[in-house]
């Protein structure tokens, strides 16, 4: 009989290097997939946020404008409401129109004339885009004049000028600062135009710098979203014109 021998298995340096290389390669692949997934998630989240902001502004403006009378609509669209961004002239318009404090109860004598069920126009809404930065903000003002105008009359152009300042806290109506709220940031353009006798076109374009990491970091391109809609005020009668 031959004496037994103990066999010891060991890795050579080459085998160890191959194993480490494979492991590092797998880590790189996992990291790349994770990085790609993170960027895709951030892009989708940012895009969803920009779209949600635009939809919120336009849905609210459309609802308010549809309830008004075309006779009360006043807007400002001139060189003072433009800004040049990278050689392109964009509009930052302002629009105002009459409304009611509450549309829900036709029996409320503060808002409706009970004899003929006609609205008592006791509120004005003002929507505008600030013009002091390449990416402005949409601001909405609420104005409750005392006494109310009753008829759907327009604000005056000087009043509208004093109600569309880049710092909303400096706006003035009869010596008071109207209540205001910021509806959206990153506004590239906000335009308001007449389409026909009682139809208006509104365009809102938001543009936000696209970031590749949650903590900021490198910026790559822009996330852009634009909405265009036509609105017809539904409380308009022929004598309003």
- Judged on CB neighbours under 10 Å (0-12, 13-18, 19+), 200 is buried
Domain-embedded: residue 14: no
Rounded CA separation 130/100 (Å): 25
Domain extent at residue 220:
23-240
CB 201 within 8 A of CB 61: no
Q: How many domains does the chain have?
A: 1
With tokens 């494979």, the residue in question is 22
The reply to whether 17 falls in a domain is no
12 is a domain residue: no
Phi, psi of 77 (to 5 degrees): -140, 85
In a domain, 2, yes or no: no
Sequential pLDDT tens for the chain (241 residues)? 555 555 555 567 887 787 778 877 777 777 666 666 656 555 566 667 788 899 999 999 999 999 999 999 999 999 999 999 999 999 999 999 999 999 988 889 999 988 887 889 999 999 999 999 999 999 999 999 998 887 899 999 999 999 999 999 999 999 999 999 999 999 999 999 999 888 999 999 999 876 655 455 555 677 889 999 999 999 876 555 4
pLDDT at residue 106, rounded to an integer: 85
Report how far apart, in Å, the C-alpha atoms of 162 and of each of 177, 186, 235 are. Answer: 10, 23, 27
The answer to whether residue 10 is domain-embedded is no
3, part of any domain: no
Confidence (pTM): 0.79
The confidence score (pLDDT) of residue 26 equals 78
Note the pLDDT of residue 114.
80
Q: What is the pLDDT of residue 18?
A: 76
pLDDT on residue 180: 98
Q: Specify the pLDDT at position 20.
A: 77
Inside any domain, residue 8: no
Is 11 contained in some domain?
Answer: no
Q: What is the pLDDT of residue 153?
A: 92
């Amino acid at each position: 009989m031959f004496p037994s021998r103990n066999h010891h298995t060991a890795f050579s340096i080459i085998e160890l290097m191959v194993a480490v290389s494979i492991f590092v390669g797998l880590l790189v692949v996992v990291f790349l997939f994770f990085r790609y997934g993170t960027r895709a998630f951030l892009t989708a989240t940012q895009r969803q946020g920009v779209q949600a902001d635009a939809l919120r502004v336009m849905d609210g403006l459309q609802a308010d404008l549809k309830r008004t009378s075309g006779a009360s609509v006043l807007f400002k669209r001139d060189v003072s409401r433009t800004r040049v961004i990278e050689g392109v002239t964009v509009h930052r318009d302002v629009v105002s129109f009459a409304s009611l404090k509450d549309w829900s109860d036709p029996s409320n004598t503060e808002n409706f004339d009970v004899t003929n069920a006609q609205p008592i126009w006791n509120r004005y809404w003002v929507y505008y885009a600030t013009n002091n930065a390449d990416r402005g903000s949409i601001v909405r003002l609420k104005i409750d004049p005392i006494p109310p105008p009753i008829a759907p009359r327009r604000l005056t152009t000087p009043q509208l000028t004093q109600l569309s300042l880049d710092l909303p806290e400096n706006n003035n109506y009869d010596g008071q600062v109207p209540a205001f709220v910021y509806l959206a940031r990153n506004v590239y353009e906000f335009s308001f135009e007449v389409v026909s006798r009682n139809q208006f076109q509104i365009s809102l374009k938001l543009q936000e710098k696209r970031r590749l990491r949650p903590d900021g970091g490198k910026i790559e391109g822009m996330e852009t979203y634009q909405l265009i809609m036509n609105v017809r005020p539904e409380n308009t009668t022929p004598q309003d014109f």
